[in-house]
A = this chain, B = another copy of it.
């Protein structure tokens, strides 16, 4: 067993390195990912070791990055695109939605799209406009894509490798404000499967679902609730499309109450689908409607207001209170 204490950023870096070692067809593409090592340094040192043909500093255009990645995939490569910030994925949406997502179905499976689109996402770092978006619902609503988010260095290390190895396109969401958080990573472990959710804290009163940056927040809320004698079960969703709700259904059947937490604006966000499905599957067990704690239905506010926009420990506990009050 080789364990290392890694930040999430470094875990991703090592995961990418290992994926590139394992498969010569893996090619990284993006703005500033080579020389500079990416604005978050996630690809630091990789161009130096793997060369410019495998770590490609691209021109500045997201449609170009994803569109040429499609072509590389058609030629047998496994491109890993970095979108520099969440708010800059939109120029690539046409390629993602009309091409990446549809090519397998279009070709009756003759052509596959093993493309990974890495997106540092979410707020909490005091950034300017377009640098704090949570665009996951757009992708989760798009058949043909898979969408995952990681919440900790262990999942980051394994998840990026699993996403690259997957035969389907994966939108890989990295919670940028957690890049610097550390954990022990066992580099030889047998990883958990990528497209599975996981109970990260046991509890009996309310099930709290979260993913990416909000998992830590949910765990903080659970710790605070415990002090007041309330027991929260926390689930890290991990996979946003496909959803893996089986463990959640089990949990909710037991607790009868559920709160979904995400940074994205709440309307038509992930919480909506989860609430709809859980209600269908747990109708007779639910003692309260599935409630949501999310961003408000407004454009992400200026940085100095983001604390009030983002769900935090208190917002989660407030939703938990409301669920208990039903």
Contact = CB atoms under 8 A, between A and B. Distances in A.
Given A97-B90, A129-B106, A138-B141, A272 B276 contact: yes
A213 to B, nearest CB: 19
A79 B162 CA distance: 46
Interface in A255-297: 265, 267-273, 275-276, 279-280, 283, 288-292, 296-297
Contacts of A101: 299
A223 interface: no
A183 interface: no
A143 interface: yes
A299 B144 contact: yes
A326 B286 CA distance: 14
A266 B94 CA distance: 21
A141 B290 contact: no
A130 interface: yes
Contact of A271 (B105, B270, B276, B299): B276
A73 interface: no
A140 interface: yes
A280 to B, nearest CB: 5
Contact of A98 (B130, B270, B271, B275): B130
B279 A275 contact: yes
Contacts of A292: 276
A190 interface: no
A288 B286 CA distance: 12
Interface residues of A, number: 44
A265 B142 CA distance: 8
Chief secondary structure at chain A's binding surface: mixed
A130 B269 CA distance: 24
A211 to B, nearest CB: 14
Contact of A268 (B141, B283, B289, B326): B141
A288 B283 contact: yes
A156 B279 CA distance: 35
Contacts of A53: none
A94 B97 contact: no
A279 B271 CA distance: 13
A141 B130 contact: no
A140 B266 CA distance: 11
A207 B274 CA distance: 22
Contact of A283 (B105, B130, B144, B326): B326
B93 A269 contact: no
A15 to B, nearest CB: 28
A303 interface: no
B138 A138 contact: yes
Nearest to A322: B280
Interface string A131-165: 00000011011011000000000000000000000
Which are the 3 A-B pairs with shortest beta-carbon distances? Answer: A141-B268, A90-B94, A275-B276
14 contacts: A90-B94, A90-B98, A105-B298, A105-B299, A140-B267, A141-B141, A143-B298, A272-B275, A272-B276, A275-B276, A276-B289, A276-B292, A279-B279, A283-B288
